[in-house]
């Protein structure tokens, strides 16, 4: 990477960390840095010491066409996975909306996928909801979590919930994003094992995650995240900040 590019990347990283400093406050801060161009199938989340704490799998677990794909190596880390979609093959349809996701076939597909995993594999997976996936909003997440826990005698259905706030936004929500973000934190904060922070940019008919400060979210949205974390999320829950990728500056 050229010196000027490296300098600009460092400046962007500093801006991201400054933008989120008040939100993270005294919590553990982990960071995610993706490669150039987006669309990666795997990303790592590291802590301040550089240890890998999470591996993020961007593939669609309910995509039957990818059923033979080998599981990602995690080397002791937990694996963050989408709740999945029945819209079609990954990656082109990962964010394509379909009513099937919110009808019985979507819930059955997610249940069948989890039931095929052994107990240890389920315990190492953290579910990540998305506005266009099977688990798409606080009511669907809480209802699914409750049903699975009750069926397992009170045991959590998976290892944790990765609350990706940007992934729960739709373009139509950006006018009052602060209200939606606070509602998501109020209704899901108690379940969160980690909170993932990113900005959003409208790309065609969908929201794309971009590093904090590089998208459409304004000061009121960032303040809603700060207040929502303080009010509704346990103090020790880590916050993951999406940093610019090493190859995109």
Distance CA 139, CA 223 (A): 24
Return mean pLDDT, the chain. 89
Res 29 pLDDT > 80: yes
Counting the structural domains of the chain, the total is 1
Is the CB of residue 240 less than 8 Å from the CB of residue 196? yes
**Sorting pLDDT into bands at 50, 70 and 90, what band is 53?**
very high
Q: Is the pLDDT of residue 5 over 80?
A: no
Containing structural domain, residue 220: 3-243
Residue 246 confidence (pLDDT) above 60: no
Average of per-residue pLDDT across 16-32: 95
Residue 249 within a domain:
no
Beta strand ranges found along the chain (DSSP E): 29-33, 42-46, 52-57, 78-82, 125-128, 160-164, 192-197, 199-203, 206-210, 239-243
Domain CATH code at residue 164: 3.20.20
Q: Residue 147: is its pLDDT beyond 50?
A: yes
Confidence of residue 130 (pLDDT cuts 50, 70, 90): very high
User: What does the pLDDT read at residue 73?
Assistant: 66
Examine residue 165 and state whether it is found in any structural domain, yes or no: yes
> ω into residue 28 within 30 of 0, thus cis?
no
Q: Which pLDDT tens digit goes with each residue over 158-210? A: 999 999 999 999 999 999 999 999 999 999 999 999 999 999 999 888 999 99
User: What DSSP assignment string belongs to 138-153?
Assistant: HHHHHHHHHHHHHHTT
Q: Which of 78, 77, 80, 58 is nearest to 69 (CA)?
A: 58
Residue 248 is assigned to a structural domain of this protein: no
Q: Give domain status of residue 215, yes or no.
A: yes
Residue 26 lies in a domain: yes
**Does residue 60 contact residue 54 with C-beta atoms inside 8 Å?**
no
Report the range of poorest mean pLDDT among 29-33, 69-73, 172-176, 205-209: 69-73
């Amino acid at each position: 990477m050229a010196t000027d590019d490296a300098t600009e990347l460092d400046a962007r990283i500093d801006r991201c960390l400054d933008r989120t400093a008040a939100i993270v406050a005294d919590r553990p801060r982990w960071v995610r840095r993706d490669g150039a161009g987006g669309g990666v199938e795997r990303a790592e989340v590291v802590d301040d010491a550089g240890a890998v704490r999470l591996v993020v799998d961007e593939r669609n677990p309910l995509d039957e066409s990818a059923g033979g794909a080998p599981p990602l190596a995690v080397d002791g880390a937990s694996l963050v996975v989408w709740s999945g979609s029945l819209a079609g093959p990954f990656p082109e349809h990962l964010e394509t909306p379909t009513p099937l996701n919110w009808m019985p076939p979507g819930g059955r597909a997610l249940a069948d996928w989890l039931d095929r995993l052994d107990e240890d594999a389920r315990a190492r997976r953290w579910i990540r909801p998305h506005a266009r996936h099977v688990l798409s909003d606080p009511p669907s997440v809480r209802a699914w979590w409750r049903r699975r826990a009750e069926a397992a005698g009170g045991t959590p259905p998976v290892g944790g919930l990765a609350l990706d706030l940007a992934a729960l936004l739709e373009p139509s929500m950006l006018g009052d994003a602060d209200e939606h973000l606070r509602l998501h934190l109020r209704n899901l904060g108690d379940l969160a094992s980690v909170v993932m922070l990113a900005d959003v940019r409208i790309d065609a008919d969908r929201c794309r995650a971009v590093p904090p400060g590089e998208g459409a979210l304004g000061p009121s949205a960032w303040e809603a995240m700060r207040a929502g974390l303080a009010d509704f999320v346990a103090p020790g829950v880590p916050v993951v900040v999406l940093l610019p990728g090493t190859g995109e500056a």
